[in-house]
Chain A
């Protein structure tokens, strides 16, 4: 079983609020990822990190930002939430090797009113 955690699991918040979605893993993985997924749809990579102090934007443009100050922690921040940010956000981590299985957290379901 993967040791990757996300909080909160569910968040309902008003437009304009600043929010931070937490993601942490205890497996010592160097690579971490954030995906955005609308219900029943595909995953879109929005951010990833190779390791501490490394962050990269993914394939889908996002107004969110991320930081990687510690190996185990990869938080995602929205400075001003909007209804268009309503979605599920999945965090994942993996080792740098050939069988690069990504282990996913349980996800955060965000609703912006």
Chain B
């Protein structure tokens, strides 16, 4: 079974609109972390935002915020006021455990976001 599910293979959004990229996860571990990465066409992976399972508030980083709904096991990424430079692949990822030596991070299949001028 998929541990990380991103149901939107691709999205087209008008510039300056807000965007929500969906991510649901599956874990029985009470301690975990959720990440979002951006991958432009150049190929590098850029860390955007992190949410710990025990964090009470939703994480925010500039125009990025993570809509963390623990009961639903969802961790959607919200990009406010989208820009042309936001066009990229976006990956949701999860680390199970408390950041121990043998923890691994599992990535979703990604969502390709296209921002239209």
Interface residues of A in 85-102 (CB under 8 A from B): 88, 90, 92, 96-102
A104-B44 contact in complex given A40-B112, A42-B91, A42-B108, C-beta closer than 8 Å: yes
A99-B102 contact in complex given A92-B45, A107-B44, C-beta closer than 8 Å: no
A96 and B100 alpha carbons, distance in the complex (Å): 6
Give the B interface residue count (CB, 8 A): 27
- Of the stretches A12-20, A43-51, A61-69, A73-81, the one at the interface is A43-51
Chain A contact patch, size range: 20 to 34
Residues on the A chain within 8 Å of B46, using CB = 104
Residues on the B chain within 8 Å of A48, using CB = 104
B contact residues vs A (CB 8 Å cutoff) = 33, 35, 37, 42-47, 50, 52, 89, 91, 95, 98-105, 107-110, 112
4 closest A-B pairs by CB:
A104-B45, A98-B99, A42-B109, A107-B43
